[in-house]
């Protein structure tokens, strides 16, 4: 049985905050993803997950609570928990730039991995506390904003009793992600006192890697990747999306192409008998004990990649009025 973890990085937009957009409107646009009278954020995502018997893991960034107070988190946490999905921890340290009473003496960094181990323990411990204060059940998993973690982040998580990390995305290794990891690593592995469960993906060209992110992969690529993982008996397949990913880049319009991909994934996964929707609470730490069994990613298919590129160019033109995908 392959556990499918559909993970949703759930966060306010620092860019909107910088533009002077008020908290309530930022929540509306970034978390519930409202545009043109429709909402296609985490509420819409949970509706689809529920319809197909799947589970979402909502990695929620609580750091804006240091500016706005913890109350804005409560309805978000409440709705996720009420519907039986999972709240876990995400962090975007860029919010520290606007915090008056800095928990780390004014030190700043774009990513959690930019901080010392001591500061990371403090920041992650504080963030976990904020989520739990907002009503979240005990936090057991983490993903860094921008995948910007390093090995000290893993040590810090172990120090505050968070067991799982999912900050390794092979597409970001050696860039934002400073964790020392093997980009061929597919299964969960114990490291620095936590269990690392990397973001899943496919090989889109010889030697390449494309992460299983809704906006980065066609429905056919996602289906091929998940099918392959299930056939090979992978313990887990980790998909990434965002609370605002169903909107166009300027968050003014719905992105029907990305919405259709999310729906296609839910429909496909809901029909696969060897796949079950899961959160981190459903995973056994024992999946990291088994020695590597030579798992692979679905190999490159020129047709599949070509079709996705063509779709992407069309969608970029349609939703962003730009010809070059970014
Ligand atoms: Zn994020």
The CATH number of residue 281's host domain is 3.20.20.370
- Cα(244) to ligand 1 centroid in Å equals 10
Residue with tokens 């998940």: 226
Q: Residues 74, 42, 25, CA angle at the centre, nearest 5°?
A: 65
**pLDDT, averaged across the chain:** 94
Q: What is the pLDDT of residue 325?
A: 53
Structure tokens at 142: 């983490």
For the stretch 200-218, pLDDT in tens is: 999 998 889 999 999 999 9
Q: Residues 159, 160, 163, CA angle at the centre, nearest 5°?
A: 90
Q: How far apart are CA 87 and CA 72, in angstroms?
A: 15
Do residues 148 and 113 make contact, with C-beta atoms less than 8 angstroms apart?
A: yes
In a domain, 92, yes or no: yes
In a domain, 128, yes or no: yes
For the stretch 252-278, pLDDT in tens is: 899 999 999 999 999 999 999 999 999
Is the pTM of the predicted complex or chain greater than 0.75?
A: yes
Q: Residues 85, 86, 91, CA angle at the centre, nearest 5°?
A: 140
Structure tokens at 121: 């323990």
Percent of the chain scoring above 70 in pLDDT: 98
- Cα(271) to ligand 1 centroid in Å equals 30
Question: Could you list the residue range(s) of the whole structural domain that residue 70 is in?
Answer: 2-320
Q: How far apart are CA 167 and CA 197, in angstroms?
A: 8
State how many domains the chain has. Answer: 1
Q: What is the pLDDT of residue 104?
A: 97
In a domain, 326, yes or no: no
For the stretch 18-72, pLDDT in tens is: 999 999 999 999 999 999 999 999 999 999 999 999 999 999 999 999 999 999 9
For the stretch 67-115, pLDDT in tens is: 999 999 999 999 999 999 999 999 999 999 999 999 999 999 999 999 9
Q: What is the pLDDT of residue 265?
A: 98
- Cα(178) to ligand 1 centroid in Å equals 16
Q: What is the pLDDT of residue 321?
A: 66
- Cα(146) to ligand 1 centroid in Å equals 6
- Cα(45) to ligand 1 centroid in Å equals 17
Q: What is the band of 294 on the pLDDT scale with cuts at 50, 70, 90? A: confident
- Cα(18) to ligand 1 centroid in Å equals 16
Q: Hey, which bits of the chain come out as E strands?
A: 2-10, 34-35, 38-39, 56-60, 86-91, 141-144, 164-165, 189-191, 194-196, 201-202, 210-211, 236-242, 275-277
DSSP-derived secondary structure for 178-207: B----TT--S-EEETTEEE-PPPEE--STT
- Cα(281) to ligand 1 centroid in Å equals 21
Q: How far apart are CA 248 and CA 83, in angstroms?
A: 27
In a domain, 325, yes or no: no
Per-residue pLDDT at 323 exceeds 90 = no
Q: What is the band of 302 on the pLDDT scale with cuts at 50, 70, 90? A: confident
In a domain, 220, yes or no: yes
For the stretch 144-197, pLDDT in tens is: 999 999 999 999 999 999 999 999 999 999 999 999 999 999 999 999 999 999
Per-residue pLDDT at 293 exceeds 80 = no
- Cα(92) to ligand 1 centroid in Å equals 6
Q: What is the band of 320 on the pLDDT scale with cuts at 50, 70, 90? A: confident
Q: What is the pLDDT of residue 164?
A: 98
Q: What is the pLDDT of residue 300?
A: 86
Q: What is the band of 322 on the pLDDT scale with cuts at 50, 70, 90? A: low
In terms of pLDDT, which residue wins out, 289 or 113?
A: 113
- Cα(38) to ligand 1 centroid in Å equals 23
For the stretch 121-154, pLDDT in tens is: 999 999 999 999 999 999 999 999 999 999 999 9
Structure tokens at 219: 């429905």
In a domain, 66, yes or no: yes
Q: Hey, which bits of 63-134 come out as E strands?
A: 86-91
């Amino acid at each position: 049985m392959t556990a499918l973890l559909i993970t949703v990085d759930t966060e306010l937009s620092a860019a909107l905050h910088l533009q002077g957009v008020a908290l309530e409107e930022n929540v509306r646009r970034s978390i519930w993803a409202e545009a043109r009278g429709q909402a296609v954020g985490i509420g819409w995502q949970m509706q689809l997950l529920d319809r197909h018997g799947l589970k979402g893991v909502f990695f929620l960034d609580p750091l804006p609570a240091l500016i706005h107070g913890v109350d804005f988190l409560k309805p978000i946490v409440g709705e996720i928990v009420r519907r039986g999905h999972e709240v876990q921890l995400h962090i975007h340290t860029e919010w520290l730039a606007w915090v008056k009473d800095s928990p780390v003496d004014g030190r700043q960094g774009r990513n959690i991995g930019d901080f010392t181990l001591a500061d990371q323990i403090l920041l992650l411990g504080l963030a976990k506390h904020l989520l739990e204060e907002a009503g979240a059940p005990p936090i057991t998993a983490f993903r860094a904003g921008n995948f910007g973690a390093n090995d000290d982040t893993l040590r810090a998580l172990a120090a505050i009793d968070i067991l799982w990390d999912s900050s390794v995305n092979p597409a970001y290794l050696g860039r934002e992600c400073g964790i020392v990891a093997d980009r061929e690593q597919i299964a969960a592995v114990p490291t620095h006192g936590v269990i690392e469960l990397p973001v899943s993906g496919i090989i889109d060209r010889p030697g390449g890697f494309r992460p299983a992110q809704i906006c980065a992969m066609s429905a056919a690529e996602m289906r091929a990747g998940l099918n392959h993982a299930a056939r090979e008996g992978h313990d887990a397949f980790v998909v990434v999306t965002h609370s605002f990913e169903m909107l166009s880049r300027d968050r003014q319009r719905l992105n029907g192409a990305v919405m259709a991909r999310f729906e296609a994934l839910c429909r496909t996964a809901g029909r696969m008998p060897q796949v079950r929707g899961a959160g981190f609470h459903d995973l056994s730490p024992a999946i990291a004990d088994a020695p590597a069994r030579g798992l692979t990613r679905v190999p490159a298919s020129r047709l599949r990649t070509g079709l996705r590129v063509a779709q992407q160019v069309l969608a970029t033109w349609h939703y962003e009025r730009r010809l070059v995908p970014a």
